[in-house]
Structure 1
Amino acid sequence: MSATAGPGHGAGRLLRGGRVVARVLLVWVLSAGALRLLDRWLPGFSMASWWQPIVCALLFGVLSAVVWPLVLRIALPIAVFTLGIGSFLVLGAGVLAISFVVPGVVIADFETAVVVAVAVSVLAALASGLLALDQDELFFRRAARRGARRGTGGDAEMPPGVLFLQVDGLGMDTVRRAVRDGDMPTFARLLAAGSHRLTEWNTDWSSQTGASVCGILHGDNDDILGFRWYEKDRDHVMACSHPEDAAEIERRHSDGAGLLSVDGAGHGNLFTGDAAHVSLTMSALPVLAGAARRRRSGRLGAGYYAYFANPANTLRTLAGALVDVGREISASTRQRRAGVVPRVRRGGFYPFARSATTVIVRDVVVSAIIEDMLAGRAAIYADFLGYDEVAHHSGVERFDALAVLRSIDQQIGRLYRATQLAPRRYQIVALSDHGQTQGWAFTDRFGESVEALVGRLCGAPQPEPRRGVNSDAGRASEGWQVGAALAEASAGGGPIARRLRARVERAGSAPDHPRTVTGAPGAVTRVAPGVVVVASGHVAMVSFTEHDGRVELETIEREFPELLPALVDHAGVGFLLVRSAESGPIVLGRDGVHRLATGQVSGEDPLGPYGPHAADLVRRVDGFAHCPDIMINSRFDPIMEEASPFEPHVGSHGGMGGPQSKGFLLYPAELPAPGEIVGAEVLHRVLRGWLTHLGQPAPPVGAPASPTVPAG
């Protein structure tokens, strides 16, 4: 992955140098031409002499390339918090200043100056595109010259650095098809050349970003039950997407020796991996907010400066974001008109949120990685979230999700080219934190949410079950099947439901624990008195708040005699994990029971469709400190490879069943083969071993975790 010396390399340098000169001349000519046209068409702007556009274009180029980056060190917050729009206000002020310097140039007002700045920046972006010139090339060439002057050029003896590029939510099966069908040409070239190999890894039961990334970066994801889960001892729902909760999760799992603890950087992640240089990292936000209060100055983080330092980047990205908004609206309309199912609502603010993820954040993250490579940092981990976001709403392999995947692959190709120019040799490792399993959302398929279902079975008044808001008229014919499924659940048609009801009848169902009207005290919403339900993708967690600790099956049977029989017979439920005083942890399914303590299975193994590692993964979760009283996994259909998530998604993850549990790992062929990987903690050890194999120093054992600071 490193540049090689030789005649071909020298010819390449000459070619790139010629392209740089051509770009500079082309931008200068186009800028001068644009200024001449603006002189004719733009009121309030005039240039009387032929030489004025040429001189002003030259001065604008100097302003953009030299003066603007210096000014940006002070004005960066304005650029960041306005998504780059504020940068053109500052550039407009610079253009206004140029009009005062060049005799005879008239710019009537500040608004006119901003229009001129935008127009010339657009042409600069177009010129780069016409020459197919990678801006990163200019960036690294300038860096190389600075390093040569300072005597700090790349060290041939320095061990290679590693770029860990995470494509969020991309499953192994989708990667195979995307490589085969041309949707990931960069991956296809790396595999065809033999420089990289592709393998899969099996996630934990919680196949979602919180558990996976904490395990990958920190080597520990104990007690992370989902993207959100309930902690009974604190009456609090933990959410990985909440900055304070993310910081608390990292505090519990970091020992200071994470994957990025030795000269590392992280971007767009939930957790830092103990990196000293981060941006767009959820767990670092509380720390960074405190640092910002303590410091009046300082950079906002890697990527921001590198991104906004070039005004053309802002225009390019904002234009790309607007195009993506249009793509989303078009794709949603096409799905709705064609009656495609499953589907979910995609209106409101979502098109803009999607473009922020698929374009704006992506570009900032790429700039952050390039700046880290310039600094020669040893290990860089970045998350590309766009595919996961779109697949949730569009579908795992529908055309607009694959279009986003192609754009991510293009960025990975861009970073691959950048490794050829960086002052340090770099290897690229691409991976995913999990996959996605597609299906019709539980609420839409069965007419009520899992929260409403559990609340109803626990005695809370509920409205009549209804068809989901995202269903269409084409599903009306299936209403009788939904009604039949609900009727079957209430009748206890399955053998396990019949046995559970028989146990209740023998033991008596009068609760021996007094109930309160509201289940109070408690800040978390109860679906029934004393009952909390938290959904996380394909997993739902039920906790009974009026009991301390883990509530056993026998107590649940006494207090809520219909709950377990109805759940195991429900067409959307695959299996339940409960703790029995008699048998320890047991997994209940419609047609069988799996006793985890002994491995004994009665009837059909409820974990059978979920893979060979299912029992071990479920057994591990049973030992978590905050394991809920009932853990519900959605039902997976192995023939259609679909399951109904408990959240309003089309593609989803978070539990077991199908592609959601199969992440991918693309790694350089020169690294040792990883063997079978089961769980994110094992993947962490593989990645850490590769860093050691490449000669990077291992973090000190028991190193204290230090507060993460903004990169710079």
Structure 2
Amino acid sequence: MKTLGNLIRLFIRFLVVWFVDTISLLITAWVISGINIYPVNGTSVIVVATAAALLLGIVNLLIRPLILLLTVPLGWVVIFLVGFIINALVLMITSALMPGFEVDGLWAAFIGGLFLSLVNTILTTLLDIDNDESFYANLVKRQAARQAETEEGESTRGVVMLEIDGLSYWHIQKAVEDGYMPTIKKMMDEQGYQISRVDCGLPATTPACQAGILQGNNHNIPAFRWLDKESNRILAGGQAAAEIEPQLSNGQGLLEGGSSISNMFSGDATKSILTFSKIKAETKEDKKKRAQDMYLLMRNPYFFMRVLVLFFGDMIQEVWQGWQQRRKDVQPRLNRLHNGYPILRAATNIFLRDVGGYLTILDIIRGVPAIYTLFAGYDEVAHHSGPWTRDAMLTLQQFDRVISSILMVMERDAPRPYEFILLSDHGQSFGATFEQRYEIGILDFIKEQLPQGTSAVGTGGGDDGTIGVSAMMGELENLEDSRLAGTVGRAMVSGTQRAMKSNLDQQPGTQEAEPAKVTLCYSGNLAQVYFDLHPRKIALNELNAAYPGMVDELVQHEGIGFVVAYEDDFEPVAFGKNGARNLHTGDVIGEDPLEPYGDVELRSWQVRRIADFSNSGDLILNSTLYPDGTVAALEELIGNHGGLGGEQTDAFIFHPADMEVPETRNSQEMMAILKSRVGLPGPTPIPDRPVEPVVDPWTFAVLGKGLSQVGKWLDYAFHAIKLSR
């Protein structure tokens, strides 16, 4: 019965794709000079185009695999480029065989082939037709299945974990309620899935949170970037991951025996790809496995054509959305063209999203027991447009389709039962930046409190899409070193690396600290401030003696909520405008400076924990939490995370109903929660749902509701044609 259902599904897909190909061919003939369709012997142009589209598909099916097979030794780049040449060749052969279909020369065939692919990709994307059932996708799936790590019929449960970087508990609820994530809503309605809030603790940054989730240990990571006084180096989360993971790992991380895809840390996975901590640290055999995955990815030309179209579409969308903000004078806002940001956004939101999704599907087909993949697109867009905005929510709508594809593969092609879990590492808070509010940046404000001539430097940024792009650059280097890329491929990969590196060189990474008396490392609305008076923590009295009045000015500034400094015995104390809290004893004098930020005992524990890190600054600054719930980033991001205040510490787990999610104080407590789901027997149980009452579809109320959803008519009609729900 399952085989019959698959045959029907494939036949319907064939008819739909044939229809799309016909429309694409008609549009191409209308736009491209030198490609013509005309009636023959009374046969209409539509019939000729329909027949030509069918013949084009047949010729493509016969010619393309043979030519691609001959080009395999030359590498994946040649395969990709030859794909475009094949389009021209197929058009010319079809023209020779099909009366009424004319291609006037090689140049018209080449341009026509490119344009035909472009139109076809746009139409299939708009109509939500994926290429998971194409010849090339099935070829890749078969190759992945031959590398299966488990036998068909394996009864223990694998777990697929997808992380949406920066999406808070409150924001995912809003996204589901507003219809941006229909797949998630359907799982809640039909399978009893739930969204549980978890507190990620401090710092609310990707390196600390991912180290906690994947390694179960994020000790001594006080921010996204920090100064190591002992070595006098600025360490940045992604770039420092390879150096600090060995210190954090006990060999029993979340992904022991599994796969890490597009993460900072590996979770002790057997295979890590696009993962910072392992890009340069693995053995030759490990690098070969990763290169093979990248090679399989390159085998599907439709995948890259689609990604290419969506990539440029996302760049255009970013320019449009930024212009709309300026036109409407939306405040606060940023310059969304700065440093070629639209390119970085498209790379993160489109390219890395789809590459990560594809690699995840390959590992599901192999039966890998635990898979963890990061999606950074929402976090990237929310940083620049705001976490509540429609601009950011649209990235979730796009990612929801990726989730749907992954769930379909889990159901149809996986050799074992899989459980699906969606989560975030931290949330994001919102607000005008410190500089936007007070017309002076935090670094310049500190400089004003220092004696004239005292040097001070600041460093920030990097907890964004540059992390994933840098990881991709590392994988390209790995592919270049392998023989899978071919001679031409290695040359082009090398060129791509240089282009990417020139953009990434503008981004701050792990580096020698500049000679300075004061070094400021900011992460969202949190900042670590280091002084060079001693190669150790510096007590408050020592700071007051060296820089009289500076700490008091920071504490009393309207934009600073609290400042952590150290007593003579190095006990950390949080100072506010009207009081202080000793973070070790809990003694409070005057007003508790942590009270505005929620549960004071929880917040005190979290602040004390990072204050006790040897890598923390001599001062720790956290911005004010304003009455409207916003915070002031100490760097130029209106959506931000790192410290306390707003939604940035409110992460979430989307999970089956039988999964218990206790309260947490730090992201490292999440590892045990997630790891308990790996290797359970059988499929995930689905709770009984109450039977919904039968509704008469012919009532005026139902008719009125249907008429009000005019925007969904085309989508419903198309799904009816596909016989899908």
TM-score bracket for the superposition, by shorter chain length:
0.7 to 0.9
Task: Return closer, same or farther for 1:341/1:524 CA change in 2, 3 Å cut-off.
Answer: same
The residue aligned with 1:341 is: 331
Contact 2:333/2:385, CA 8 A, preserved across alignment: yes
Alignment partner of 1:174 is 2:171: yes
How far apart are residue 209 of structure 1 and its match?
Answer: 0.5
The residue aligned with 1:59 is: 59
- For structure 1, the 5+ residue unaligned runs are 1-6, 44-49, 80-86, 464-521, 697-712
Distance 1:583 1:36 in 2: 77
The residue aligned with 1:375 is: 366
Contact 1:437/1:659, CA 8 A, preserved across alignment: yes
How far apart are residue 38 of structure 1 and its match?
Answer: 10
* 1:699-710 correspondence runs (5 A): none
Distance 2:194 2:589 in 1: 41
Task: Return closer, same or farther for 1:693/1:619 CA change in 2, 3 Å cut-off.
Answer: farther
SS at match of 1:367: helix
Distance 1:255 1:73 in 2: 41
Distance 2:245 2:73 in 1: 31
The residue aligned with 2:68 is: 68
SS at match of 1:669: coil
Alignment partner of 1:16 is 2:9: yes
The residue aligned with 1:227 is: 224
The residue aligned with 2:272 is: 278
The residue aligned with 2:414 is: 423
How far apart are residue 149 of structure 1 and its match?
Answer: 10
Distance 1:536 1:265 in 2: 29
Distance 2:53 2:176 in 1: 49
* 1:73-222 correspondence runs (5 A): 74-77=74-77, 87=80, 89-94=81-86, 114-122=110-118, 125=121, 128=124, 133-137=129-133, 155-222=152-219
Contact 2:64/2:86, CA 8 A, preserved across alignment: no
Q: Deviations for 1:371-425, whole angstroms, at most 9, x for unmatched residues?
A: 1111111111111111100110001111211111211122212222222112232
Q: Deviations for 1:274-299, whole angstroms, at most 9, x for unmatched residues?
A: 223333222223236x859x98x876
Task: Return closer, same or farther for 1:271/1:66 CA change in 2, 3 Å cut-off.
Answer: farther
How far apart are residue 15 of structure 1 and its match?
Answer: 2.9
Q: Deviations for 1:78-136, whole angstroms, at most 9, x for unmatched residues?
A: 67xxxxxxx2x322444577699999699998765643542453465467568854433
How far apart are residue 66 of structure 1 and its match?
Answer: 6.6
How many residue pairs were aligned?
Answer: 607
Contact 1:568/1:590, CA 8 A, preserved across alignment: yes
Task: Return closer, same or farther for 1:29/1:223 CA change in 2, 3 Å cut-off.
Answer: same
Q: Deviations for 1:225-264, whole angstroms, at most 9, x for unmatched residues?
A: 111111111111101233xx221122321232221121x1
How far apart are residue 631 of structure 1 and its match?
Answer: 0.9
The residue aligned with 2:615 is: 626
Q: Which amino acid aligns with 1:651?
A: G
How far apart are residue 551 of structure 1 and its match?
Answer: 0.6
Distance 2:24 2:512 in 1: 60
How far apart are residue 77 of structure 1 and its match?
Answer: 4.8
Contact 2:539/2:570, CA 8 A, preserved across alignment: no
* Residue 584 of structure 2, aligned match among 579, 589, 597: 597
The residue aligned with 2:391 is: 400
Distance 1:60 1:32 in 2: 14
After TM superposition, the score normalised by the length of structure 1 is 0.77
Task: Return closer, same or farther for 1:97/1:673 CA change in 2, 3 Å cut-off.
Answer: same
Distance 1:54 1:12 in 2: 24
The residue aligned with 1:636 is: 625
Task: Return closer, same or farther for 1:109/1:36 CA change in 2, 3 Å cut-off.
Answer: closer
Q: Which amino acid aligns with 1:546?
A: L
The residue aligned with 2:634 is: 646
Distance 2:621 2:127 in 1: 56
The residue aligned with 1:665 is: 653
Q: Which amino acid aligns with 2:159?
A: V
How far apart are residue 210 of structure 1 and its match?
Answer: 0.7
Q: Deviations for 1:9-31, whole angstroms, at most 9, x for unmatched residues?
A: 56643432322443575578678
The residue aligned with 1:47 is: none
SS at match of 1:200: strand
Distance 2:453 2:144 in 1: 71
* Residue 260 of structure 2, aligned match among 259, 266, 278: 266
Task: Return closer, same or farther for 1:351/1:33 CA change in 2, 3 Å cut-off.
Answer: closer
The residue aligned with 2:554 is: 567
How far apart are residue 367 of structure 1 and its match?
Answer: 0.9
Distance 1:298 1:219 in 2: 26
Q: Which amino acid aligns with 2:392?
A: A
The residue aligned with 1:443 is: 435
Contact 1:73/1:299, CA 8 A, preserved across alignment: no
Task: Return closer, same or farther for 1:564/1:370 CA change in 2, 3 Å cut-off.
Answer: same
After TM superposition, the score normalised by the length of structure 2 is 0.75
The residue aligned with 2:233 is: 236
Q: Deviations for 1:306-360, whole angstroms, at most 9, x for unmatched residues?
A: 5433322222222222222222112111211222111111114011211111112
How far apart are residue 547 of structure 1 and its match?
Answer: 0.4
What is the Cα-based RMSD across aligned positions, in Å?
A: 3.6
Alignment partner of 1:253 is 2:248: yes
SS at match of 2:613: coil
* Residue 390 of structure 1, aligned match among 373, 381, 393: 381
Contact 1:32/1:57, CA 8 A, preserved across alignment: no
Q: Which amino acid aligns with 1:630?
A: L
Distance 2:84 2:105 in 1: 10
Task: Return closer, same or farther for 1:68/1:230 CA change in 2, 3 Å cut-off.
Answer: same
How far apart are residue 53 of structure 1 and its match?
Answer: 8.5
SS at match of 1:266: strand
Task: Return closer, same or farther for 1:204/1:319 CA change in 2, 3 Å cut-off.
Answer: same
Task: Return closer, same or farther for 1:435/1:20 CA change in 2, 3 Å cut-off.
Answer: same
The residue aligned with 1:710 is: none
Contact 1:92/1:113, CA 8 A, preserved across alignment: no
Task: Return closer, same or farther for 1:90/1:560 CA change in 2, 3 Å cut-off.
Answer: same
Task: Return closer, same or farther for 1:344/1:24 CA change in 2, 3 Å cut-off.
Answer: closer
The residue aligned with 1:467 is: none
How far apart are residue 155 of structure 1 and its match?
Answer: 2.9
* 1:670-689 correspondence runs (5 A): 670=658, 672-689=659-676
Stretch of structure 1 that moved more, 407-416 or 676-685: 407-416
